[in-house]
Amino acid sequence: MDGAHVRQQRRLDGLLRPRAVLDRRRSLVSVAFLAGLLAIMLTSRGRAGLRPLIMTTGWSALLVTAGVVGGGAGLGTALTAGFIVQVTPPLWSAYRTARPTGVSAGTWSLIFAELLCWLLFGVQKSDPRLITLGAAGVIASTLMLARIRCAASGTRRGRARKWHATVGSN
């Protein structure tokens, strides 16, 4: 009875495996297609120029290549690197500007919550790409929320001190 059960399980595994591969390919194609479609829509409406279209098309091609060559691990690595590249300029700007404006604490709180979930899931699954993504997101959103709070309270780390006329009474 055990031998028949094992053979049946192997047959089922063989049937399910191609479907899982097909689902991954569909996901890969949909991510690349949606990125390309967004670039075309923005360009056709005059909201973006030719350079963003080329960049988005290149990013889509990179995602497809990473998915085809590296499978899920390659795609996960590319998307994690993409997130880090995407979040670095806003952080840099927020900390280089004396009083940053237009930065939403609600948006960064959602980013924190979402990527904390991915971090915990990555730890549970022992997936280094998810752990890196989650940790980068938690660190980035924490830094941005701290900057928003400092800007709202009127303080800034590293701000020049007011020096009084009397020596030694700072």
- Residue indicated by tokens 């059960």: 5
pLDDT band at 5 (very low <50, low <70, confident <90, very high): low
pLDDT band at 124 (very low <50, low <70, confident <90, very high): very high
Is the pLDDT score of 122 beyond 80?
yes
pLDDT of res. 7? 59
Any domain includes 61: yes
- Mean pLDDT value of segment 121-146: 94
Distance CA(134)–CA(120), nearest Å, equals 8
Any domain includes 65: yes
pTM passes above 0.85: no
Any domain includes 51: yes
Nearest CA-CA partner of 56 in 34, 29, 76: 34
Any domain includes 38: yes
Tell me the residue range of the domain where 14 lies. 1-70
Is the pLDDT score of 48 beyond 70?
no
Domain count, the chain: 1
Is the pLDDT score of 135 beyond 70?
yes
Distance CA(59)–CA(53), nearest Å, equals 10
pLDDT of res. 160? 42
Any domain includes 46: yes
